[in-house]
Structure 1
Amino acid sequence: MNSRQLQLALKKQRLQFKSDMLRDRWIAHAGGLAPVLGAADQVRAGYAWLRGHPEVVVGVGVAVAVARPRAAWRWLKRAVVAWQFWRKGQQLLAR
């Protein structure tokens, strides 16, 4: 192994050690975020479950529409406005 290769190997090893140290430090500092990240994971899992079971969403919507039609209508109007706002935002960002 020539001098250049040896220098590169040593530099690579130093960078790997530094990376390990920084990763360990980040893990120690990020420990306080574990509850927040856990909650975010649960929300994401719930969303994935709902996407896999749309009949539940439709059933709840029908039940609310039958039990409280005015409230259902009000929430439907809000949802349509939010959906339109979301679509406009996506179009603006796509430009």
Structure 2
Amino acid sequence: MNQKLLLLATRHGALKARIDEQRRTLRQQVVPLEAALARGDAVMQGVDWLKHHPAAIGLAVAAVVVARPRRAWRWAKRGFFVWRGWQAIRNSLTGMR
């Protein structure tokens, strides 16, 4: 009986050491991702701000339209085509499921 407990304790210690080593390795491998994830968080905070302040977007668009109507029209066309392209891609990906 004691031999079994000793074997289990030894195995338990080996497993804990292996787990600790895997955690250290994972911590080292995650470091490069932290910067990218932080940038993503910053972008999402900006998007949230824009969602909560739609008047700022409206004022910016109005200023561009008043200042440079041709440029605004050009960018509106580009935006429309990008939006339509995104919809087509999204619909094709959704249809694949």
**TM-score, with normalisation over the residues of structure 2?**
0.71
CA-atom RMSD in angstroms: 2.4
Q: CA deviation at 1:17?
A: 5.9
Q: CA deviation at 1:32?
A: 3.0
Where does 1:60-75 land on structure 2 (aligned, <5 Å)? 60-75=60-75
| AA of the residue aligned to 1:39 | R
Where does structure 2 lack aligned partners over 5 or more consecutive residues? none
1:45-74 alpha-carbon deviations (Å, 9 max, x no partner):
111211222111111111111111111111
Q: CA deviation at 1:38?
A: 1.5
Cα distance change on mapping 1:20 and 1:60 into 2, 3 Å: farther
Larger Rg: 1 or 2?
2
Identity of aligned residues (%): 31
Cα distance change on mapping 1:36 and 1:83 into 2, 3 Å: same
Match for residue 38 of structure 1?
38
| AA of the residue aligned to 2:46 | G
The answer on 1:27 being equivalent to 2:24 is no
| AA of the residue aligned to 2:28 | A
**TM-score, with normalisation over the residues of structure 1?**
0.72
| AA of the residue aligned to 2:49 | W
CA–CA distance in structure 1, aligned partners of residues 73 and 35 of structure 2: 36
Cα distance change on mapping 1:58 and 1:25 into 2, 3 Å: same
1:19-50 alpha-carbon deviations (Å, 9 max, x no partner):
55323312122223332222121011111211
Where does structure 1 lack aligned partners over 5 or more consecutive residues? none
